[in-house]
Amino acid sequence: MLYTVIKKNLYKDSVNLMLLTNQLSTRSDLNQISVMMGTPANKDIFNDAGLYTEDLEAASPNDLCIVMDVDNKNVKVEILAEIDDYLKNQVSQSKKNIIPQARTWDTAMKKLPNANLAVISISGEYVSEETEKALDQGLNVFIFSDNVDIEDEVRLKQKARERGLIVMGPDCGTGIFGDIPIAFANVVEQGNIGVVGASGTGIQEITSIISRNGAGLTHAIGTGGRDLSSEVGAITTIESLSLLARDPNTEVLVYVSKPPAPEVRHSVVERFTGLGKPVVAVFMGEKPGKDHDNVQYTGTLEQAAFKAVELAKQTSSDENLNDMTPEIHKVRRQPNQRHLRGYYCGGTLALETAMLLRETYGLEDDGNHSNGVMFYHGGSEIIDLGDDAYTKNRPHPMIDPTLRLEKMREAARDPDTAIVLLDNVIGYGGHDDMGGVFAQAIKEEKRKAENQGRAVVFIASVTGTNADPQGYEEQVEKLVEAGAIVKRSNAAASHLAIKIMQTIETNLTQDKEKTAITTDRTPADELISEKPRIINIGLQNFAVTVHEQNGDVIQFNWSPVAGGNRRLATLLGNLK
């Protein structure tokens, strides 16, 4: 039976509510449950899940909605008590936090009058309005949220450009300004390399490899994946490249993204050649172009990182992408074990592996990556589980390993599977111990396979550094002890997987005008010449990260104006 409980005017961020829903869903006495805010989009999700009730009609976007399917009223009471305890604990943790708090823009700006960056991670339908307010306050904006109309993205980025500011995102997962990581980011060494990218995990992989190999970063600026579309026209990409070109501390630039729209690509490459600094560029999913002017192209993230280190240190790289283990593992396998299955939390890492597989076996990319399927052929597959198809009402797999564990276990138990390939992206914003979670599962699945007279090879890479909260070496050690082969990069892990697949006979088929860079300083230059001073709107964990790195931050405890009533909010706005 369906039960609905609505807690009025109790705004909570979506990620914590998703984690709560997942926690409750493990109960054997519960058929189904969902805990979300009462936004129109969330009501559609309730409906799609078969949990919609008439009681939800009256819920506003500022109301917390609980719908559960249970057979016993006593279980309902227990679950509501568990939810109350969870929410009280959230409040208690918030009160313990010494980060300054604010509930309005006026208060936030008074508490941090020299703020220069707003980090926004609220429901997508409210992002445009709050971004407008941030820009009007003279702040650069980092938008972690997704589900923002592309028309709004274009308008906001154009407005920012007119004011000498930048808007990073929407759906921007990673940023590093000096020693301050933003959202999903790693603690890296400081140095003379600057990174711009439309790929969160691509930036993380490159910056981590750079940091682990004796060089360091000035800044890493994410742009959001749609920035390279024909509609947006690379506004943030071009402004960010120009920003780092003006930075005296940045001597080498790295750029990473999926291939841009053709007309946008020309503008981006033209900007490369006018930067006056060496540029290493990697367009994931396509073969590297021919080097020209000050631009060098690479095919993988690791190659880009090593090339940047070489330029930054002005030394030759001892890079060896195919650093295989001394012996390709002799697998006690059944004749039908011929498939490779890869389940990723990093979309760009999944794309990189898929690209290397297609290159090896002479396959073309049809460009259809629906449901996160980056590669599928003859039973082998590479899937990005961070794709929107899997994160609807579910936390990103960098935060919650549940779906990836299910997929990994399912693949390991399939008698046709020879290799399971995994990434592990650590750092701020991610799970506290993803390596430990997967290590336990790998041990169990290896033992089950051995009892059936076969073996499954687990190959992994870890994206991160020893300075990250989870610790790079610690994560590697846990996976190795569990029996996984851990390589130094996703590219190296992919090369090893391909080499092993080849040994077990798979069925896989086999002159430009430079654009001058203005030297005029803009408000965005403060982001790279000084520490960012942040107003964090949404996920408090992002503010905690900044605070732990000794950054200035105000937590803006945002909730929808007028309880989410659009008409009333408009009237109130007109009265100002």
pLDDT digits (tens, 9 = 90+) for 262-284: 889 999 999 999 999 999 999 99
Distance (Å, rounded) from C-alpha 480 to C-alpha 475?
A: 9
| pLDDT at residue 316, rounded to an integer | 62
Distance between first and last Cα of the chain = 47
Distance (Å, rounded) from C-alpha 209 to C-alpha 526?
A: 27
| pLDDT (mean) for 468-479 | 96
Per-residue exposure over 128-150, b if at least 16 CB sit within 10 Å of its own CB, e if not:
bebbeebbebebbbbbbbbebee
| pLDDT (mean) for 229-237 | 96
Distance (Å, rounded) from C-alpha 181 to C-alpha 425?
A: 14
Is-contact 409 442, C-beta < 8 A? no
Distance (Å, rounded) from C-alpha 115 to C-alpha 449?
A: 56
pLDDT class for 576, splitting at 50, 70, 90? low
Decide if pLDDT at 222 tops 90.
yes
Decide if pLDDT at 93 tops 70.
no
| pLDDT at residue 290, rounded to an integer | 93
For 204-218, 393-407, 434-448, 551-565, which range has the lowest pLDDT when averaged over its residues?
551-565
Strands 2-7, 64-69: pairing is antiparallel
Q: Would you call 269 helix, strand, or coil by DSSP?
A: helix
Is-contact 323 334, C-beta < 8 A? no
Strands 217-222, 174-177: pairing is antiparallel
Q: Would you call 335 helix, strand, or coil by DSSP?
A: coil
Decide if pLDDT at 565 tops 80.
no
Orientation of helix 434-451 relative to helix 472-481, angle to 10°: 10
Distance (Å, rounded) from C-alpha 89 to C-alpha 110?
A: 29
Dihedral of CA 328/330/336/340: which sign? negative
pLDDT class for 94, splitting at 50, 70, 90? low
Q: pLDDT tens across 302-345, in order?
A: 999 999 999 998 876 555 444 444 344 445 556 678 899 999 99
User: What is this structure's pTM?
Assistant: 0.86
Decide if pLDDT at 484 tops 60.
yes
DSSP state of 515: P
Fold (topology level) of 172-319? Rossmann fold (3.40.50)
| pLDDT at residue 297, rounded to an integer | 97
- CA dihedral (299, 302, 306, 311) in degrees, to 10, reads 50
| pLDDT at residue 313, rounded to an integer | 87
Decide if pLDDT at 216 tops 80.
yes
| pLDDT (mean) for 407-428 | 96
Is-contact 87 12, C-beta < 8 A? yes
| pLDDT at residue 409, rounded to an integer | 96
| pLDDT at residue 327, rounded to an integer | 42
**Mean per-residue pLDDT over the chain, rounded:** 89
Q: Show me where the domains of the chain are located.
A: 2-96, 100-171+532-576, 172-319, 339-503
Q: pLDDT tens across 494-527, in order?
A: 999 999 888 765 433 333 344 456 667 888 988 8
| pLDDT at residue 392, rounded to an integer | 76
φ and ψ at residue 317, rounded to 5 degrees: -85, 145
| pLDDT (mean) for 86-91 | 80
Look-up: residue for tokens 């933003």?
182
CA-based Rg of the chain, rounded to a whole angstrom? 24
218 burial level (CB within 10 Å; 0-12, 13-18, 19+): buried
Decide if pLDDT at 168 tops 90.
yes
| pLDDT at residue 506, rounded to an integer | 42
| pLDDT at residue 322, rounded to an integer | 43
Distances from the Cα of 281 to the Cα of 195, 218, 235, angstroms: 10, 17, 18
High-pLDDT (> 90) share of the chain, %: 69
Which residues contact residue 545 at a Cβ distance below 8 angstroms, ignoring those fewer than 6 apart? 181, 182, 185, 428, 429
Look-up: residue for tokens 């996160």?
372
Distance (Å, rounded) from C-alpha 494 to C-alpha 503?
A: 14
The class level of CATH for 100-171+532-576 reads alpha beta
| pLDDT at residue 561, rounded to an integer | 75
Check residue 285 and give left, alpha or beta (phi > 0: left; psi -120 to 50: alpha). left
Quick one: which of 422, 427, 492 has its CA closest to 456? Answer: 422
Region 339-503: CATH code: 3.40.50.261
| pLDDT at residue 453, rounded to an integer | 87
For 108, the enclosing helix (H) or strand (E) is helix 105-111
Greater pLDDT, 565 or 555:
555
Decide if pLDDT at 394 tops 60.
yes
For 193-202, 247-256, 486-495, 507-516, which range has the lowest pLDDT when averaged over its residues?
507-516
Largest CA distance in the chain: 76
For 140-149, 469-478, 522-531, which range has the lowest pLDDT when averaged over its residues?
522-531
Q: Which long-range contacts (CB under 8 A, 24 or more apart) does 389-396 make?
A: 392/45, 393/18, 393/21, 393/34, 393/36, 393/42, 393/45, 393/49, 394/18, 394/22, 395/15, 395/18, 395/19, 395/22, 396/345
Which residues contact residue 235 at a Cβ distance below 8 angstroms, ignoring those fewer than 6 apart? 154, 157, 158, 161, 227
